Amino acid sequence: MEVIVVRLRLNLGYDGGGFSGWARQPALRTVQGEIEQALGRILRIAEPVLTVAGRTDAGVHARGQVAHVDVPGEVLVRLDGNRPHALGTDERLSVLVRRLGGVLPPDVRVFRVSVAPEGFDARFSALSRRYAYRVSDAAGGCDPLRRHEVLWHNRPLDLDALNAAAARLLGEHDFAAFCKKREGATTIRELQRLDWAREPGGVLVATVVADAFCHSMVRALVGSLLAAGDGRRPVEWPGQVLAAGVRDTGVHVAPAHGLCLEEVRYPADAELADRASATRRVRTLEV
């Protein structure tokens, strides 16, 4: 008898401070590990495997993370419990969200579960990821209630200098100078947006959008821009590092706790499979 598999999309968020990153690792507490354990317990299945839009590093937060998991369709019926009438799919998934809320620790939440459209892949179907990096340059330090999500930078930062330096990094480039190289993985990315704004309370927020990011890329970009923003380096320097194409010891990777994954964007349902197929192709820069 053929087993019908249902792909579920999960929208979730977490405080990364208590996790050793997203990806499951032996003997370490991870976001993936916590959610997979909770799903297995509630659905009574062994080792559900999540695929995520972006694997965040240890200490990095998310409020707009997306993942998918494939489960046998029959397990959703278990969510009916002892109700006299069978629930519809949407009702069952609402029950699953509530039960996850009761099982998961408070530093990770699943906001919504839905049946994924045909062709959906949380990782490969994504058009872009949007991150925010938050920095305070207040003389006495940042608001202590925001210390786990805002970096304190102990030098005044010039907003115009930050944006002038950031503009030199936009576009499709080989970001090898800002990435930790991984065997077989490309470092070519399209940086679609990188700009800074100062909130009414004084916190500076960098908005960073790309089709994808390589390991440590956002934090390395921010680290280079802070050096330009506080005057230790000229505004041209981050662009020069990018053009050199090799890791520069002068680039300090910004701490993880200031970074948050805010949003993952996907195309229309009819374009999901084509997008996933295109993303799987390893890119090279055209000469």
Amino acid code (one letter) for 241:
V
- Closest by Cα among 272, 280, 160 to 225: 160
Could you give the CA distance from residue 230 to residue 167 in angstroms, rounded to a whole number? Answer: 16
Residue 109, H or E segment: strand 108-115
- HEC sequence for 201-254: CCCEEEEEEECCCCCCHHHHHHHHHHHHHCCCCCCCHHHHHHHHCCCCCCCCCC
Could you give the CA distance from residue 4 to residue 111 in angstroms, rounded to a whole number? Answer: 25
Q: What share of the chain is helix, strand, coil (3-state, %, to 5)?
A: 30, 25, 45
Which residues are annotated binding-site positions for substrate? 131
Amino acid code (one letter) for 77:
V
Could you give the CA distance from residue 9 to residue 50 in angstroms, rounded to a whole number? Answer: 10
Query: Which residues are tagged catalytic?
Result: 57
In whole angstroms, how large is the CA radius of gyration of the chain?
Answer: 21
Could you give the CA distance from residue 11 to residue 68 in angstroms, rounded to a whole number? Answer: 9
